[in-house]
Amino acid sequence: MFNETVTAAKNESIMPTYARFPITLVKGKGSYVWDNNDTKYLDFTSGIGTCNLGHVPDVVKNAVESQLQELWHCSNLFHIPSQQKLADLLTENSFGDKIFFCNSGAEANEGAIKLARRYAQKVKGSAAFEVVTFTQSFHGRTLATLTATGQTKIQDGFAPLVPGFRYLPFNDMNALEQVAGEKTCAVLLEVIQGEGGVNHASEEWLQQLAHICKENDILLMVDEIQTGMGRTGKLFAYENYGIEPDVMTLAKGLGSGFPIGAIVASEKVAKAFEAGTHGTTFGGNPIVTTAGVATITEIVDNVLPTVAELGMYLSEKLQQLKVKFPTQVKEVRGAGLMRGIELHGPAADVLKKAREEQHVLVLPAGPNVVRLLPPLTTTKAEIDEVLAVLETVFSEIAEEGKSV
């Protein structure tokens, strides 16, 4: 058991960049976590869509424990067997031909932006450098990726921003006329916006966007950092739309909590990166790629077939909740096991009551949206439990005379 006084004291030495929940988590297994008071919580956050196999999955733990006895780090100056295996698994299961491994989603998007610019300049012989992104998007916290993010609150205080980005309204058919420009080298988007409110692209809009990119030789880059690795019912969310991107970025669920990101690219685009043009010290080391191999193998072989069914079950239950609480629930949306409940008012009370009174953990996605990201290994019984908690919370708030 951790000492609460020590934990509180240590928090004073940490930069206050997170509005943390007042919980200190010390243990997890499957869909559950425990705090330092041994209180058990049903976790429908999955580390913000990272622990797709649940907490401490045996298949990943066993693989990593074995690798810990062999080699931890050797740098990318040497060949790494687990890195090659993970790259093979990703290319075998996606459009991609080549992989670059890094440490996080922000780094993956940063690398994708570099790749797009270098492809335009060194492969196409073009002076194009501009990347089109969309309002309410989220692509990371580096200077380039926060500039790519279509939310001013993320950019506040970091001026001057990186030049070369242009924003268009998400899901707006008319705005697609503005995609292609003389300076445009790429489009970067989430097919379902996570942090922006669980907003999913319409099939017609995304297919038209893909057509425009192909017609104008503009790279289509999909940010699958939250939607990838089975979250939407397909291994990658772009597969739901009948399109094929040029570049895809991954992180979160790729390593079951071990820090890993990846850029997946077609052969024609990947050749823009040569020796010395991009690099990383820790990216793709033996530990994280071993975790990645175990994770993707388990998802593809044993988990993915059930995600679509569970997602439909969750969707039906959420629709029932909307019908029962029409003055509180405005809309439910998402795909697979990535769902958002848009409320008529703030989501903060719902999150707090669920956490403090019912010991269920759910996430915000903007001020008015409750986001559900359960492990892909969740059960119908756990879904029922969370929906019963939300029903109780909505009822309590209604009785208190509050509006959400």
Per-residue pLDDT at 399: 82
Per-residue pLDDT at 248: 98
Per-residue pLDDT at 288: 98
The DSSP secondary structure of 3-60, one letter per residue, reads: -HHHHHHHHTTS---S---S--EEEEEBTEEEETT--EEEESSHHHHT-TT-BS-HHH
No. of helices (H) and no. of strands (E), the chain: 13, 17
What is the reported pTM?
A: 0.94
pLDDT below 50 — which residues of the chain?
A: 1-9
Determine what percent of the chain falls in helix, strand and coil, rounding each to the nearest 5: 40, 20, 40
The DSSP secondary structure of 153-192, one letter per residue, reads: HHHTT-PSPPSSEEEE-TT-TGGGGGS--TTEEEEEE-SE
Q: Which residue matches tokens 């998402």? A: 334
Per-residue pLDDT at 2: 39
Domains of the chain by start residue, with CATH:
1-44 (no CATH), 58-299 (3.40.640.10)
Beta bridge partners of 55: 30
Q: Which residue matches tokens 């491994």? A: 101
Tokens of 337: 């096991």
Beta bridge partners of 372: 339
Cβ-proximal residues to 200 (8 Å cutoff; 6+ apart), any chain: 191, 192, 193, 333, 334, 335
Per-residue pLDDT at 141: 97
Helix (H) or strand (E) holding 357: helix 348-358
- Scored b (16 or more CB within 10 A) or e, 67-87 reads beeeeeeeebeeebebbebbb
